[in-house]
């Protein structure tokens, strides 16, 4: 079955630590995205990548970093510079006019 996988499902981090969220897709999509969702809110774009070895900042990129070394993979690092990282993180890829989402990672900073 084709789709997007994200791991881990739940992640706990101590303040001051960097943490990397995994996103893998086997849909053969070129474009991939990272969103952040806070309780009761919409999705806000963190970073996106339209092709391997290229990525662009979204609306809330500060405190985050990404890489796109392979078409299938688009990991997101939440750095210690992100002041309020507790949130639900969603990875997505695009085919034409539809975005496909992974199941998400819920990050909690202790």
What does the binding site for other proteins look like in residue numbers (CB under 8 A)? 31, 33, 35, 40-45, 48, 50, 58, 90, 94, 97-104
Q: Which is nearer to other proteins, 2 or 42 (CB)?
A: 42
**Residue 31 C-beta: closest distance to other proteins, Å:** 5
Residue 61 Cβ vs other proteins, minimum distance, rounded to whole Å: 13
For other proteins, the closer of residues 32 and 109 by Cβ is 32
74 vs 101: CA distance, rounded Å: 13
Q: How far is the CB of 85 from other proteins (least distance, A)?
A: 19
Nearer to other proteins, 60 or 80 (CB): 60
Which of 63, 58, 69, 53 shows the shortest CA–CA distance to 92?
58
Given a contact cutoff of 8 angstroms between Cβ atoms, the answer to whether 78 and 21 are in contact is yes
Residue 15 has, within 13 A of its CA and on its CB side, a CA count of 3
**What count of Cα atoms within 13 Å lies in the side-chain half-sphere of residue 103?**
7
CB of 22 to other proteins, least distance (A): 15
């Amino acid at each position: 079955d084709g789709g997007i996988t994200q791991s881990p499902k739940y992640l706990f981090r101590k303040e001051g630590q960097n943490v990397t969220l995994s996103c893998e897709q086997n849909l053969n999509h070129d474009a991939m995205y990272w969103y952040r969702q806070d309780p009761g809110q919409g999705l806000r774009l963190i970073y996106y990548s339209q092709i391997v070895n290229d990525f662009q900042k979204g609306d809330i990129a500060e405190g985050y970093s990404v890489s796109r070394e392979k078409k299938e993979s688009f990991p997101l690092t939440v750095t210690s510079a992100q002041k309020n990282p507790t949130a639900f993180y969603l990875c997505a890829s695009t085919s034409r006019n539809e975005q496909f989402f992974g199941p998400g990672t819920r990050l909690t900073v202790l």
